[in-house]
Amino acid sequence: MKGRPLLISLLLLIATTLTLTATSTLAPDSAYPSPYGAADSCGGAAEELIPPRREVYGSGKIYDITHKFTPETPSGITENGIGQFLQLAASMKNGSLYNFSEIKLPAHAGTHVDAPGHMFDDYFDAGFDVDSLDLEVLNGPALLVDVPRDSNLTAEVMKSLNIPKGVKRVLFRTLNTDRHLMLQKKFDTSFVGFKKDGAQWLVDNTDIKLIGIDYLSVAAYDDLIPSHHVFLRGREIILVEGLKLDDIPAGLYTVHCLPLRLLGAEGAPIRCILMK
Ligand SMILES: *[C@@H]1O[C@H](CO)[C@@H](O)[C@H](O)[C@H]1NC(C)=O
Ligand SMILES: *[C@@H]1O[C@H](CO)[C@@H](O)[C@H](O)[C@H]1NC(C)=O
Ligand SMILES: *[C@@H]1O[C@H](CO)[C@@H](O)[C@H](O)[C@H]1NC(C)=O
């Protein structure tokens, strides 16, 4: 009985030492300017907790090409953006032991992926959802190309880009990026996208299986349904829309895109990064 308090004090001492050691290895540096929780475990002021937010990692080794979701993220459905997509179902401010949020999002808002079921009812019923998409197409070498700013993506434009055979993944940077369309909550139908003949030219003359674009739709608004049909009919091409492609040098990268496994969903938020 007498030994107990001593043992407990000893354990506490060891625990304290371990905590201090762990904290000291979390010294801020250029790669990790504000170690999350470091100030907290030192008993520091909570207002010093600044979570890191970055677009570029390791001076260009990784580019985040995913837009943040905010209430103003455009969806193409509502004029005012997606609105309050996060709700606290349980909150520490009103007595819960934890914060616990629920998410409600349009499946085709922000940076997202289209599955074949998006535009073909028989594919939807058969289950060609985002969980059926090929991760080998969504991940691998990819070209980031600039397209002429004075045109939509027609057959003529596609031809002029001279994308070599064998290239499987292309991210098209267009006037949409210059116009910062993804940062405007209101859907803008004047965005640049594929005209039907451009889509057909890509399918007939290239090996591209992953198409990335910098607004909510790969298809120009005038050819919204026909261009989607050309791409999705074969169930081989994956469309990633709403990418954030500004301030990244054009060229060859490795792309990594991972959709959520939402069974039955014909679209889903997707996290995409480019690696040098
Ligand atoms: C606690 O927060 C939830 C979510 O906002 C709310 O539905 C609930 O009414 C709140 N409860 C109290 C006691 O304020
Ligand atoms: C969420 O949790 C933190 C503690 O991690 C607490 O300080 C804060 O009040 C909570 N937020 C809400 C809205 O309850
Ligand atoms: C692209 O097409 C849209 C209609 O779908 C049009 O409003 C827009 O002006 C065109 N953009 C360019 C650069 O030609």
Taking CA atoms only, the protein residue closest to ligand 3 atom 8 is 190
To the nearest whole percent, how much of the chain has pLDDT over 90? 79
> What atom in ligand 3 is closest to the CA of residue 220?
5
Report, as an integer, the average pLDDT of 120-145: 97
Q: Which of 31-35, 101-105, 155-159 has the lowest mean pLDDT?
A: 31-35
Q: Strand, helix or coil at 170?
A: strand
Residue 9 has pLDDT above 70, yes or no: no
Q: Check residue 29 and report its DSSP letter.
A: B
pLDDT score, position 77: 83
Single-letter residue type at 121: D
Of all protein residues, the one whose alpha carbon is nearest to atom 13 of ligand 3 is 151
**Cα–Cα distance between 12 and 81 in angstroms, integer?**
51
Q: State the ligand closest to the CA atom of 47.
A: 2
**What does each C-alpha distance from 160 to 31, 72, 253 come to in angstroms?**
40, 36, 21
| Ligand 1 and 250: CB distance under 6 A | no
Q: Whose CA is nearest to atom 12 of ligand 3?
A: 151
Contact 210, 167 (CB under 8 A): no
Mutate to test the pocket of ligand 1, among 91, 97, 104 (most ligand atoms within 8 A of CB): 91
129 phi, psi to nearest 5 deg: -100, -175
Is residue 98 within 6 Å of ligand 2 at its C-beta? no
**Radius of gyration from C-alpha coordinates of the chain:** 24
**Ligand 3: which of 149, 150, 152 to mutate, judged by most atoms within 8 Å of the beta carbon?**
152
CA dist., res. 116 & res. 267, Å (int): 9
Question: Distance between CA atoms of 188 and 243, rounded to whole angstroms?
Answer: 16
Q: Where do we find the tokens 């970055």?
A: 54
Q: Is 99 in the pocket of ligand 2 (CB under 6 A)?
A: yes
* pLDDT at 187 (0 to 100): 96
Query: 91: Cβ below 6 Å to ligand 1?
Result: yes
Residue 71: CA atoms inside 13 Å, Cβ hemisphere, count?
A: 5
Residue 121 is predicted with a pLDDT of: 93
Amino acid code (one letter) for 6: L
- Above 70 in pLDDT, residue 247? yes
Q: Which atom from ligand 2 is nearest to the alpha carbon of 91?
A: 14
Average pLDDT over residues 84-95: 94
pLDDT tens for 175-218 read 999 999 999 999 999 999 999 999 999 999 999 999 999 999 99
Euclidean distance between CA atoms 16 and 246, whole angstroms? 46
Does residue 15 surpass a pLDDT of 80?
Answer: no
CA dist., res. 152 & res. 175, Å (int)? 9
Q: What is the DSSP letter of 130?
A: G
Beta bridge partners of 173: 146
Specify the pLDDT at position 48.
85
Q: What is the pLDDT of residue 2?
A: 43
Annotate 42-90 with DSSP letters as a single string: TT--GGG------SEEGGGTEEE--PPP-TT---SS-TT-S---EEEEE
> How large a percentage of the chain has pLDDT more than 70?
83
Paired tokens of 76: 């193409």
Q: What is the pTM of this model?
A: 0.81
Residue 264 region by backbone torsions, left for phi larger than 0, else alpha for psi between -120 and 50, else beta: left
Residue 189 CB less than 6 A away from ligand 2: no
Nearest ligand 3 atom to the CA of 190 is 7
